[in-house]
Structure 1
Amino acid sequence: MSAGTIYGLGLGPGDPELMTVRADRLLRQARHVAFFRKAGRKGQARQIVEGMIPEGAVEYPMEYPVTTEIPLTDPRYNSLLSAFYEESTAHLRALAAGGEDVVVLCEGDPFFYGSFMHLYTRLVDHVPVEVVPAISGMSAAWTATGSPITWGDDILTVLMGTLPEEVLAERMAASDAVVVMKIGRNIDKVRRALRRAGRHDSAWLIEYAAMPRQTVQRLAEAPEKVTPYFSIIVVHGQGRRP
């Protein structure tokens, strides 16, 4: 029996109409659909494709054992997630070994800070795996501001809000255009870093880019509160142009 294929299906930033034609086709033909979610939640990836999964397809929710409950530096964090990815991989690998194709739903692009990468590295040497690329969330975020993110020779830097404040400030000051992801509870630290870098007043905060609840505002005018998981800060480049 030929092995089935595991498809890492990039869904794009949140609007189903921004999915690729290939992603749409593979999903609508799927017999097995896997997706990540927090325990007790439907899962954003699953929400995006509501009404698109074929009747009779078997759904396999992969529930994270931990998200923000313990700090990244806690040894248990990596231990729990590693076991979770091993368990999920074993299930998908067994399906593929039995000749079944499996679609794994991935928010944004599967190879851009996505959970699917941790499955991919555990699967790729054992069963066929294909990655279907997609529009990233940050692309939808800067598009929502109505201004290009880079001009001419601008240097774009993508930063995680989980980084130390001094690292954030240094990178922000050295770059022409900046995208900050994984903000959430790190918002105050990110604000301080932007101020240290002299970029705070030109920063934009986009929440739920390309989703029904999308909001776009200058960071300086945004309430000082913890931001949702789907939040991105962008600082536009102002480089060379004709």
Structure 2
Amino acid sequence: MGKIICCGLGPGDPDLMSVRAAREVRRARHVAFFRKKGHPGQARRIVEGMLGENVREYPMEYPVTTEIAFNSREYTRLLDGFYEEWAERLARLARNDDVVVLCEGDPYFYGSFMHLHARLQGRAEIEVIAGIPGMAGCWNSVGRPIALGDDVMTVLMGTLPEDELGRRMRNSDVLVIMKTGRNLEKIRRALASAGRLDEAWLIERGTMPGERVTRLVDAGETDCPYFAIVLVYGQGQRTKAAE
């Protein structure tokens, strides 16, 4: 009997992968990873040169694109079928041998593997190896402490409505805004309405080849790559008791 081992690969730089994850990747005989059709996949890129000579690879290609609204019934139906199919395939493989599933960042933090994780309960033994979240790699690229003292951090999705983004931006010290891409202009407007635009940084492809770090006010583009994040740093507020 084998098991399914999900390896958190960290933010993108292979040197930031844990020793434990690297060990499992190097000795794996079956490796599965998510990717968009027509692309090699970011997770697969991270482990380039690490896989064994006789490893069997299983690209899990998403069935939908951004052309379909994420909250549509068709989107949900297609993804449900996709995750169910791969949960069954991975469980079947794990009956005879270990299967390593690659996951960028940390699997438990917005990781795509969690959709499989829920469906694999009772079907296979599962092990999840922690990874450095992508946002941690990005704020290290800026070279400043993201939070100090009693700063409160909020993680937001750029897909949220603009008024909700603005409201949440006004009520937190530290902001991490994910899923930027085509939502960059909406994020920019929300930050401006919250009075936070001048504090924001845009990090594209953090820790990866082609990394770009710039203040958001200096970024002229109306959108950005999939692997991009907007950060607003805290000011290190002190509690009244400490004062």
**TM-score band (shorter)?**
over 0.9
Distance 1:32 1:197 in 2: 48
Residue 121 of structure 1 corresponds to which residue in structure 2? 118
Residue 125 of structure 1: how far off its partner (Å): 2.1
| Distance in structure 1 (CA, Å) of the matches to 2:109 and 2:65 | 18
Q: Could you list the structure 1 runs, at least 4 aligned residues long, displaced by more than 6 angstroms after superposition.
A: none
**2:29 paired with 1:31:** yes
Task: Give the number of equivalent residue pairs.
Answer: 239
State the shift of 1:74 in Å.
1.6
Matches within 5 A, 1:63-82: 63-82=61-80
Letter paired with 2:55 = A
CA distance in 2, matches of 1:124, 1:46: 25
Q: Which residue of 1 aligns with 2:59?
A: 61
Output aligned runs, 1:143-182, within 5 Å: 143-182=140-179
Partner SS state of residue 172, structure 1:
helix
Specify the alignment match of 2:228 in structure 1.
231
What is the aligned-residue identity percentage? 59
| Structure 1 residue 240 corresponds to structure 2 residue 237 | yes
The answer for the alignment partner of 1:16 in structure 2 is 14
Counterpart of 1:110 in structure 2 is 107
Matched, 1:43 2:38: no
User: What is the CA distance between 1:224 and its match in structure 2?
Assistant: 2.8
Match of 2:191 in 1: 194
1:85 aligns with one of 79, 83, 86: 83
Aligned to 1:221: 218
Q: Helix, strand or coil: the match of 1:82?
A: helix
**1:153-201 deviations in whole A, cap 9, x for unaligned?**
0000000000111111111110000000001111111111101111001
Given residue 117 of structure 2, which amino acid in structure 1 is its aligned partner? Y
Q: Distance in 2 between matches of 1:148 and 1:202?
A: 14
Q: Which residue of 1 aligns with 2:180?
A: 183
The amino acid across from 2:64 in the alignment is V
Give the superposition deviation at 1:146: 1.0
Whichever residue aligns with residue 68 of structure 2, its letter is: I
How high is the TM-score relative to the length of structure 1?
A: 0.97
For 1:22 and 1:28, locate their aligned partners in 2 and report how far apart those are by CA, in whole Å: 10
**Cα drift, residue 9 of structure 1:** 0.5
Question: Residue 132 of structure 1 aligns with which residue?
Answer: 129
Matched, 1:211 2:216: no
Partner SS state of residue 202, structure 2: strand
User: For structure 1, which runs of at least 5 residues remain unmatched after alignment?
Assistant: none
Aligned counterparts of 2:70 and 2:19: Cα–Cα separation in 1: 37
Following superposition, the deviation at residue 111 of structure 1 comes to: 0.9
Shift of 1:225: 2.1
Partner Cα distance (1:71, 1:44) in 2: 23
Whole-angstrom distance in 2 between the partners of 1:175 and 1:40: 39
| Cα offsets for 1:116-151 (capped at 9, x unmatched) | 000111113221001001001100111111111101
Cα distance in 2 for residues equivalent to 1:146 and 1:172: 22
Deviates more, 1:56-65 or 1:219-228: 219-228
SS in structure 1 at match of 2:39: coil
The TM-score, its normalising length taken from structure 2, stands at 0.96
Q: Which AA in structure 1 matches 2:16?
A: L
Partner Cα distance (1:224, 1:213) in 2: 16
Between the aligned partners of 2:234 and 2:154, the Cα distance in structure 1 is 10
